[in-house]
Chain A
Amino acid sequence: MDAVSTRSEYRKREESITLSPLEEQLAVQRDPSGGVTEVLTLNIGPHHPATHGVLRLLVTLEGEVVRDLRPIIGYVHTGIEKTAEDKAYWKVIPVVERMDYLSYYFNAMAFCGAVETLLECEVPKRAQYLRVIHLELNRIMSHLVWLGTSALDLGAMSMFWYCFRERELILDLFEQSSGQRMHTRYFQVGGVIEDIPRGFEEKLREFIAIMPGRVDQYNDLLKRNEILLQRLRGTCPLDEESLLALGVTGPLLRAAGNPWDLRKAAPYSSYEDFSFKIPVGTVGDNYDRYAVRVAEIYESVKIIEQALDGLPEGPYITGDRKVALPPRHELATSMEALIHHFKLVTEGFRPPPGEVYYPIESPRGELGCFVRSDGSAKPARVHMRDPSFVNLQATAAMTRGAYIADLIATLAMLDPILGGIDR
């Protein structure tokens, strides 16, 4: 049997190197000394130690200089949005949490916020403050993992262990409040699933007390480090206009000088009660992106402290029994509570038909959740507007004309999370 004829079109296309149009333009050039430069298309990934997750890049190189870059994604595509259409609303929360797997509270928050808007459900103040505490803890944790792995990419290996040491403290707090380290299912539609236990506040205050000191230690190690400055300062800048045209939000946009942060611009979940600053960069190069994220850790600690000091008494989930489960002790005495519990667990609540887009500020940018309800107990469409998916489009613009080493540093500073990109 002829091996050639059984190949599909895709295989044939894959075997011929996809040349970017630049290859024809720059194909063979002669430099003044008579040497010949050729343009080479290199495949980086999907299995590569420096890409954060399974990202595949087709890089067109001239020597060591990147001329063009094309990301190929889809290697962790999980069909999360389709799976979510098959489950009741509260069952969607664990599925959607696993999308951007470093900021799982944010995924849950976006979805719960969208459903609460559909239901016009009030979230009690205590639940909002608890949500803010956990969201900001998750933001710190995401930035710590980013810092550890990025410093590892750049060669500063010991940062990895320092950052993960702090991350373990945060995961201990998550385990204390919800029982799980990652993907905790703590946020539910209408509030949070459980009140914080005794001892959580003390442990959180201990954490708040030491965290700024630890970030100072990281700064001592990295901020004026000659190698870091050489690798990050002035590399791969992109101006604010291009970033906005590409739809980039989050620390990347703030590093370029635009102080757009949804926590301040369109506050949700009681963010307007807290006073914090937005770190903004000036040039928009890799060093600014790094500095903005590290400064955000300080601000998040401040927010957590304010939220903990001002934590109001009250219910931790909405009292609307048609949306939230009744407390278990009522099941023994009240028939209505039993019926509500039964209906909610087996069928779930039915929001009125409609479509809502609910954006929040995740550690990587604007995370939006679009939920369409058709009146049944399962959502008709759940779409997560993931920030990394949109930010990835800026990679080509950022790295044109830079070396491969700068490309690696830029990928690290971009903070892509492939789970969110591929969904």
Chain B
Amino acid sequence: MEIIRQGIGDPQSFRERGLRARDLLRGDLEGLELERHVEESILTTTLEKAVDWARSNSLFPATFGLACCAIEMMSIVAARVDVARFGFEAFRASPRQADLLILSGRVSIKMAPVVRRIYDQMLEPKWAIAMGACSSSMGVFNNYAIVPADKFMPVDVHVPGCPPRPEALMHGILKLRKMIQDDPDLGWRERYGAVGTEELLPETSLVAETPGA
């Protein structure tokens, strides 16, 4: 979606606009003036695009630092590469409150079921970034103990590097943000052809039939 910025212009017209907005709120604006004001200050878009815009600009990453990449992930929260500029500084500890899983570090075979469980606990819509070489492919260690993340969970963006510079991880997150904004189809089930795998509770009444118990 496009955001068209118009210059503020001279202070007089800015004051006029402010007064007209006040009149609109009071209900005093009518007729031609109302139409002109509406044209100038309201934009129209589809609901999906608006929701995508909101979702992409307020991702809540889950604190999931595994190994060395976690230190560089901490660096993006730090002051030099500031992820708060984009609105992503709220790292949530609980997966229920997070929607972005940044797999930073090597996933060992003991940890893979734990990661999968945490990914499952996240509510949709959710995305995953495989940060670093170890989680995307095997990285430096091609051996018995590591699992590439693609094997057990869907990953949207792979960020290469060992560890990726904070700027590189930022680039990856912004790419994900662009993907969310452009792609109206959010559900990972559509993206990965997993439609029909939803687990639904059996059709029961939501209201308890027997009080108490």
Contacts and interface: CB of A to CB of B under 8 A. Distances in A.
In the complex, is A directly touching B at CB under 8 Å? yes
Interface of A: 46-49, 53-54, 74-80, 82-83, 94-95, 98, 101-102, 145, 148-149, 160-161, 164-165, 167-168, 181-183, 418-419, 422
B125 to A, nearest CB: 21
Interface string B78-90: 1110000000000
Contact of A79 (B67, B114, B143): B143
B64 interface: yes
B66 A54 contact: yes
B79 A47 contact: no
Contact of A98 (B66, B118, B140): B140
B110 A419 contact: no
4 tightest Cβ-Cβ pairs between the two chains A and B: A164-B78, A101-B68, A79-B145, A49-B93
A95 B134 CA distance: 12
B106 A78 contact: yes
B114 A75 contact: yes
Contacts of A422: 108
Nearest to A169: B80
Contact of A183 (B109, B143, B163): B163
A43 to B, nearest CB: 11
A95 B141 contact: yes
Contacts of A75: 66, 108, 110-111, 114
Contacts of B141: 78-80, 83, 95, 98
B154 interface: no
Please indicate which of the listed interface residues A78, A79, A148 has the most CB atoms of chain B within 10 Å of its own CB: A78
A94 B140 contact: yes
A387 B67 CA distance: 17
B111 A78 contact: no
Contacts of A48: 93
Nearest to A50: B93
A79 B163 CA distance: 18
Contacts of A419: 67-68
A415 B165 CA distance: 24
A77 B112 CA distance: 11
B70 interface: yes
Interface in B21-47: none
Interface string B153-166: 00000000011010
A46 B140 contact: no
28 contacts: A46-B114, A47-B64, A47-B95, A47-B114, A48-B93, A49-B93, A53-B67, A54-B114, A75-B108, A75-B111, A76-B105, A77-B110, A79-B145, A80-B141, A82-B143, A83-B140, A94-B140, A98-B141, A101-B68, A160-B78, A161-B78, A164-B77, A167-B78, A168-B78, A182-B68, A182-B163, A183-B68, A422-B108
Given A148-B74, A164-B78, A182-B72, 7 more contacts: A53-B70, A75-B108, A76-B111, A82-B145, A101-B71, A164-B74, A165-B80
B138 to A, nearest CB: 10
Contacts of A54: 66, 111, 114
B180 interface: no
A173 B203 CA distance: 63
Nearest to A422: B108
